[in-house]
Amino acid sequence: MPSKQPSFPQGPRIYNLFPTLLGPVERWTERLPEIARMGFDWIFVNPFHLPGESGSLYAVKDYDRLHPTLRGDSNGDDDSNDDERLRAFTAAASDAGISVMMDLVVNHTAIDSDLVTEHPDWYVHDDGSVHSPSATDLDDPEIVTVWEDLAELDYSERPEREAVIDFFSEVIRHYIDLGFRGFRCDAAYQLPGKVWQVLIERAREAAPETQFFAETLGAPPDDIEQLRPAGFDALFNSAKWWDFRADWLLDQYQSFRDLAPSIAFPESHDTARLADESDGDSRESRFWYLFAAVFSTGVMMPIGYELGFRRRLHVVETRPEHWEEPSFDIRDFIGRVNAMKAETPILNEEGAQERFTAVDEPVVGLLRRSPRQAQHSAVLINPSFKEGQEYSRDHLIEILDCDADQLQEITPAFSDAAEGTSADAAAGDNPTSAIHLPPRSLRIFIANH
């Protein structure tokens, strides 16, 4: 972590703490020193509320009560100290230099929530029945998944909408009072931007520093665009699914970088574990975390990624007994990447970004320009699993429009045994002008003008 407070805005470096993998809230606190040592400045906690009968964390039955698993074995039904448990955790995180954000699920509730019977007019209805949300498979429109454990809230323009907004404004204020400083807004695109604008403005009246992060993955562009007036601090991008060739990721980045800065991740609680897909190859996990960290303003990583966990996180089934023996340990590498990001202004803002290599070239080059300061970055990526590649140093200097002595490499060492910046990659450089890129590697350069 940087030794002194940086003079430029910091993009969020987020550790996703999946609550039911750790269990009781007190155990969350035990993880704080390790999370801080890796250089994270935010912790994101998935829903920790009392779920409905389905048991899904995202089917919230009661926003004021903790999931029984998070209270401990001896007092799973005792909700009298729920607030104190959470307040103690956020205070300990703050002492460790970490802000805490919670998952904010406001587009639906559990179908068996008391709100469904107490306020049926808050919900969407189908032929008199409360509507359960659904999703259509993009590849096969005939495949429709209906989440029957959920009840969809109705945010259309009508008098009842104000009561729903008032309710969730109070939920947000309550958790601000407990020390939460951010909210990851699940399926944010499913609510009108004007609704989010009211919720965000009210939250910032209570605590001006509160931040809101929009989850918009897979949303149609128009649904994201309508969030523009809401005032989100960041949104999540789809860098995890890039093949390093297609244009769509850079197009997405360019389209929305002025709406809000974006956050990339190598895997999430909704995806398979990368360590499982790569059969425990730690280099693959290093490669994807480094790419996520340098592509956009923010970066997020789920619990267990640093230890090569292979079992997929599950919103219903995951429990503390699913904690795994590590496949590997890349905590030191994660710390080096986070330190590099924290110390480099251009990596903490959504500067204009473009590819400067042809689509069919073996090396992928990304150039990012700062809109606020005289700093550019260039990332060279070798996506090949087998072949090493080289790139002209002279050409890179030309791309960055700098003198040779202005070119600085900031790549953290992939190997924990290597000393200094990019020691393991630079060792293969051609002594003339070629930059060597081992298989599945990145090298990051900056130029200060």
For residues 196-202, give the mean pLDDT: 98
pLDDT at site 295? 98
pLDDT at site 77? 62
Q: Mean pLDDT check: name the lowest of 132-141, 154-163, 286-295.
A: 132-141
CATH topology of domain 353-448: Immunoglobulin-like (2.60.40)
For residues 404-413, give the mean pLDDT: 94
Q: Mean pLDDT check: name the lowest of 70-84, 166-180, 217-231, 273-287.
A: 70-84
Q: How confident is the model at residue 433 (pLDDT cuts 50, 70, 90)?
A: confident
pLDDT at site 2? 42
Cα 156 from chain centre: 29
Q: How confident is the model at residue 421 (pLDDT cuts 50, 70, 90)?
A: very low
Q: Is the pLDDT of residue 420 over 70?
A: no
> Could you tell me the pTM of the whole model?
0.94
Q: Is the pLDDT of residue 138 over 90?
A: no
Q: Is the pLDDT of residue 417 over 70?
A: no
Q: How confident is the model at residue 277 (pLDDT cuts 50, 70, 90)?
A: very high
Q: Bigger pLDDT: 420 or 395?
A: 395
Q: How confident is the model at residue 449 (pLDDT cuts 50, 70, 90)?
A: confident
Q: Where are the domains of the chain?
A: 13-107+155-349, 353-448
For residues 37-41, give the mean pLDDT: 98
Question: What's the N-to-C CA distance of the chain in angstroms?
Answer: 25
pLDDT at site 377? 96
pLDDT at site 419? 43
pLDDT at site 180? 98
pLDDT at site 428? 67
pLDDT at site 312? 98
Contact 353, 370 (CB under 8 A): no
Q: How confident is the model at residue 432 (pLDDT cuts 50, 70, 90)?
A: low
Q: Is the pLDDT of residue 259 over 50?
A: yes
Q: Classify residue 158 by burial, with Cβ atoms within 10 Å: 0-12, 13-18, 19+.
A: exposed
Q: Say what percent of the chain tops pLDDT 90.
A: 85
pLDDT tens digits for 337-374? 999 999 999 999 998 999 999 999 999 999 999 877 77
pLDDT at site 359? 95
Q: How confident is the model at residue 162 (pLDDT cuts 50, 70, 90)?
A: very high
CATH topology of domain 13-107+155-349: TIM Barrel (3.20.20)
Same fold: 13-107+155-349 with 353-448 = no
For residues 180-192, give the mean pLDDT: 97
pLDDT tens digits for 80-129? 799 999 999 999 999 999 999 999 999 999 999 999 999 999 999 988 89
**Tokens 């330190």 identify what position?**
339
Q: How confident is the model at residue 424 (pLDDT cuts 50, 70, 90)?
A: low
Helix/strand/coil (H/E/C) assignment for every residue in the chain:
CCCCCCCCCCCCEEEEECHHHHCCHHHHHHCHHHHHHCCCCEEEECCCEEECCCCCCCCEEEEEEECHHHCCHHHCCCCCCHHHHHHHHHHHHHHCCCEEEEEECCCEEECCCHHHHHCHHHECEECCEECCCEEECCCCCCCEEECCCEEEECCCCCCHHHHHHHHHHHHHHHHHHCCCCEEEECCHHHCCHHHHHHHHHHHHHHCCCCEEEECCCCCCHHHHHCCHHHCCCEEECCHHHCCCCCCHHHHHHHHHCCCCCEEECCCCCCCCCHHHHCCCCHHHHHHHHHHHHHHCCEEEEECCHHHCCCCCCCCCCCCHHHCCCCCCCCHHHHHHHHHHHHCCHHHHCCCEEEECCCCCCCCEEEEEECCCCCEEEEEEEECCCCCCEEEEHHHHHHHHCCCHHHEEECCCCCCCCCCCCCHHHHCCCCCCCEEEECCCEEEEEEEEC
Q: Which of 360, 373, 306, 308 is nearest to 333 (CA)?
A: 306
Q: Is the pLDDT of residue 1 over 90?
A: no
Q: Residue 13 and residue 234: Cα distance in Å, rounded?
A: 12
What is the rounded average pLDDT for all residues in the chain?
Answer: 93
pLDDT at site 75? 58
Q: Is the pLDDT of residue 430 over 80?
A: no
pLDDT at site 144? 78
